[in-house]
Amino acid sequence: MKTFFNLIQEVQNPGLCHRCGGCVTFCTAVNYGALELSEEGIPRYGEIEKCIECGLCYTICPEIDEMEEETKRLVSWSAPIGRVLENSVARSREPEIRNVATDGGLVTSILLHLFETGKIDGAIVTRQINQFQREPFLALSKEDIISSAGFHFDTSHGMKSFSDRYLTFSSIEELRPMMAKGLRRVAFVGTPCQIKSIRKMQALEIVPSEVITHCLGLFCSGNFVFGEEQRKKLAEIGEFSWDNVVKINIKDDFQVHLRGGRIITIPLDKLDFMKREACRFCSDYSAEFADLSFGGVGVDEGWTNVLARTPLGRAVFADARGKTVEEFSSSLGMRVASQALERVLHWSEKKREMAVTNRQELRSPSVKLKE
């Protein structure tokens, strides 16, 4: 049986670790405590003598093929981008949410609807603590959920103070305080790799995945290191000053919104110098294992492209429609949604092809793996 030692050799050393935190979360949930996260969010042995070599940390890693077919069956996955029962273009009905959120605040409104109708007790999200830093956060109220709205740039893996990163998305590690509070119905918002790790735990029926009742996935072209050096280079590429930036976003391009309304767009391929190593090998753009997947690609500013992937996801969106959520104009909605889905297919294919190419190079004898 393979263990965390094998994860180090097969995933971490080649640079494939996404820092999703799944392996550490499971180990902590069953009170083994053998694993922990480093300050950089990389799983490592904490107290190695506590490891019972169960091998489950290895199995639930999204980079490991074990349980792949079982996980796909769990969500009725189908090619080329996972199951899509319905797609739409929508946004929050509340102007105050649209003003603080990204792409119309659709994810925030879905979470609020679930919370206010008693479907969930809380949500694992992130909240901003300064211009370039977010922290994982367990939202337990309407105010908590609204405070988590906004653009997310780099994956949050549970770090609480790492000032040169712009932390984003949710952290699987935040499942620990959720369990301590006795919560049993929680929504999780995260990246494709994080969602897949949770689905693998659910396929295995192991803790703490049973308390995650809704998986909301975010389109992901890659997660980025956003330190001082990277910010400086990005400003040089776009010819702007960070003092003049109102907000940033990713659609088909990287967008920098400046005071006065000007928007600077930078092609995503120019951000490769910021991209995390593991993202070069990830093939999932549209969160293919989620209940609902969200992104701004292919739609106008202030709107979100949403894919309902499971019956649960479709039911949630249908119930929120007309209450906390409004869809694009009915006369144009179907055509706009169809065009948006085409963009998702395009970016998914592009990311998948890039992942295949990079993995082939990784396996090449001429490539020296990381120590």
Point out the least confidently predicted range of 14-28, 117-131, 172-186, 336-350.
Answer: 172-186
| Percent of the chain clearing pLDDT 70 (strictly above) | 87
pTM for the full predicted model: 0.87
* Predicted pLDDT of residue 132: 58
* Predicted pLDDT of residue 249: 78
Instruction: Give the H/E segment covering residue 264.
Output: strand 263-266
Label residue 168 by pLDDT band (50, 70, 90).
very low
Domain 4-65 belongs to what topology? Alpha-Beta Plaits (3.30.70)
Q: Rounded to whole angstroms, what are the CA distances from 371 to 9, 12, 13, 224, 302?
A: 9, 9, 6, 22, 44
Taking the alpha carbons at both ends of the chain, their separation in whole angstroms is 24
* Predicted pLDDT of residue 166: 34
Tokens of 151: 């653009």
The domain made up of 226-274 is a member of CATH 3.10.450 = yes
Of 298, 315, 22, 14, which is closest to residue 158 (Cα–Cα)? 22
Tokens of 226: 């956003």
Coil/strand/helix, residue 236: helix
DSSP 240: -
Tokens of 223: 């997660």
Say which residue, 242 or 183, is predicted with more confidence. Answer: 242
Say which residue, 177 or 112, is predicted with more confidence. Answer: 112
Write down the mean pLDDT value for the chain: 85
| Contact (Cβ atoms closer than 8 angstroms) between residue 153 and residue 102 | no
Rounded to 10 degrees, the C-alpha dihedral 90/148/189/62 comes to 130
* Predicted pLDDT of residue 133: 61
CB atoms within 10 A of CB 247: 13
Point out the least confidently predicted range of 107-121, 157-171, 351-365.
Answer: 157-171
Q: 309-362, pLDDT tens digit by residue?
A: 999 999 999 999 999 999 998 677 788 999 999 999 999 999 999 999 999 988
Per-residue pLDDT for 172 more than 50? yes
Residues recorded for the chain = 371
Say which residue, 287 or 221, is predicted with more confidence. Answer: 287
Point out the least confidently predicted range of 119-133, 154-168, 190-204, 297-311.
Answer: 154-168
Q: Strand pairing partners for 247?
A: 257
Surface-to-core class of residue 358, CB atoms within 10 Å of its CB (0-12 exposed, 13-18 middle, 19+ buried): middle
Q: Which residues contact 204 (CB under 8 A, 6 or more apart)?
A: 56, 59, 60, 67
Write the DSSP string, 87-143: EEEEEES-HHHHHHSSGGGHHHHHHHHHHHTTS-SEEEEEEEEETTEEEEEEE-SHH
- Give the CATH number of domain 73-221+280-362: 3.40.640
* Predicted pLDDT of residue 87: 95
Tokens of 13: 């050393």
| Contact (Cβ atoms closer than 8 angstroms) between residue 136 and residue 158 | yes
Return d(Cα 211, Cα 202) in angstroms, integer: 10
Write the DSSP string, 45-76: ESSGGG-----HHHHT-TTS-TTHHHHHHHTT
Per-residue pLDDT for 276 more than 90? no
Per-residue pLDDT for 207 more than 50? yes
Tokens of 143: 């105010």
Per-residue pLDDT for 170 more than 50? no
> Structural domain boundaries of the chain?
4-65, 73-221+280-362, 226-274
Report the pLDDT averaged over residues 72-93: 97
Return d(Cα 341, Cα 5) in angstroms, integer: 41
Residue type for 138, please?
A: L
Return d(Cα 233, Cα 156) in angstroms, integer: 22
Q: 30-55, pLDDT tens digit by residue?
A: 767 899 888 777 899 999 999 999 99
